[in-house]
Amino acid sequence: MNKTILITGATSGIGRASAYLFAKHGYNLILTGRRLARLEEISEELRQSHKVEVHCLNFDVRSFEECAQGFDKVKHIPIDILLNNAGKAKGYDPIHEGKIAHWEEMIDTNLKGLLYMTRLVSPGMVELKSGHIINICSTAGKEEYLNGNVYCATKHAVDSLTRALRIDLHKHNIRVSQVAPGHVEETEFAKVRFDGDESKAKIYEDFNPLRSQDVAEAIYFAASRPSHVVIQDILMMGTQQANSNTINRSGRN
């Protein structure tokens, strides 16, 4: 029987690339996001090209009620993998000029959304004594950078929660992994951070960052290890990036 992965934030970027890769490997998919038309378009394409089952759940992860109503539609399906991917940075301001709405959006999406989905999906995994939770962290969860303040704090919280979930869940035979990428293009991350300002969002032109596919492959690697192996943490960057604060921006290699 095909395995099933639930991917939050599957309408673009890393989540979308992961949906394509897991479908290629024969996984059935439960794809979530707020943009229903995109979810339906991706689902139809994957059903056709890979003959897998795809369910779309259209909700905002910031609301526990919406998460619960969405999850209710698929709760009869055993979920093998939960990919907690939905997330974002909003703004790039020093702390004394930060916008409260940006802070709330990041905390509610990156932290509470991950917690809500984990709370809903993990009991089924505990019952089956089987499952894998994979969180998308960031280099921002390992090291702070100028004007990254609240985004970095949410990703440090993800880093901490990944370890905490593993402590709570390993005795139930549930694996908990994390992938922590540096800059990733072929995503809407920068566009979202800068409220759609295309010129500010041009942050990848002078170096060669990761692509969303590179991250999807790391996620798939963690997911496809034998059941006695857990990949705890994958920290990955483009070759021209050494850490959050050190990037060779002398042009694309």
Q: 34, 55, 142, 172: which one contacts ligand NDP (CB under 6 A)?
A: 34
* Closer to ligand NDP by Cβ: residue 45 or 188: 188
Name the minimum Å distance from CB 87 to ligand NDP.
2
Residue with tokens 């609301």: 63
Q: How far is the CB of 178 from ligand 8X3 (least distance, A)?
A: 13
- Nearest CA among 37, 23, 31, 34 for reference residue 6: 31
Q: 233, 218, 117, 217: which is closest to 175 by C-alpha?
A: 233
Of 56, 1, 57, 63, the residue nearest 27 (C-alpha): 1
Query: With contact defined as beta carbons under 8 Å apart, do 40 and 57 qualify?
Result: no
- Catalytic residue, from 27, 116, 151, 204: name it: 151
Alpha-carbon gap, residue 195 to 13, rounded angstroms: 16
3-state SS, residue 19: helix
| CA distance readout (Å), 206 to 39, 129, 147, 219, 247 | 32, 47, 20, 27, 10
Task: Please work out the total of residues on this chain that contact ligand 8X3, with binding judged by CB under 6 A.
Answer: 9
Which listed range, 29-37, 122-130, 138-146, 218-226, lies at the site for ligand 8X3 (CB under 6 A)? 138-146
Would you state the structure tokens that stand for residue 248, as one six-digit string? 């060779």
Per CB under 6 A, the list member of 70, 91, 148, 181 interacting with ligand NDP is 181
Give which of ligand NDP, ligand 8X3, none residue 81 binds (C-beta under 5 to 8 Å, depending on kind).
none
Residues 84-123 close enough to bind ligand NDP by CB under 6 A: 85-88, 109
Say whether 145 is catalytic.
no
Q: How far is the CB of 216 from ligand 8X3 (least distance, A)?
A: 16
Instruction: Tell me which residue of 174, 167, 166, 163 sits closest to 227, measured CA to CA.
Output: 174
Task: Supply the minimum distance, in Å, between the C-beta of residue 130 and ligand NDP.
Answer: 25
Q: Do 31 and 42 meet the contact criterion of CB atoms below 8 Å apart?
A: yes
The only residue of 30, 81, 140, 210 in contact with ligand 8X3, by rule CB under 6 A: 140
DSSP 92: -
Of 29, 184, 219, 231, the one binding ligand NDP by CB under 6 A: 184
- Compute CA 109 distance to the chain's CA centroid, rounded to the nearest angstrom: 11
Binding mask 169-208 for ligand 8X3 (x = CB under 6 A): -------------xx-------------------------
Interacting residues with ligand NDP (CB under 6 A): 9-15, 33-35, 60-62, 85-88, 109, 136, 138, 181, 183-184, 187-189, 192
Active site residues: 151
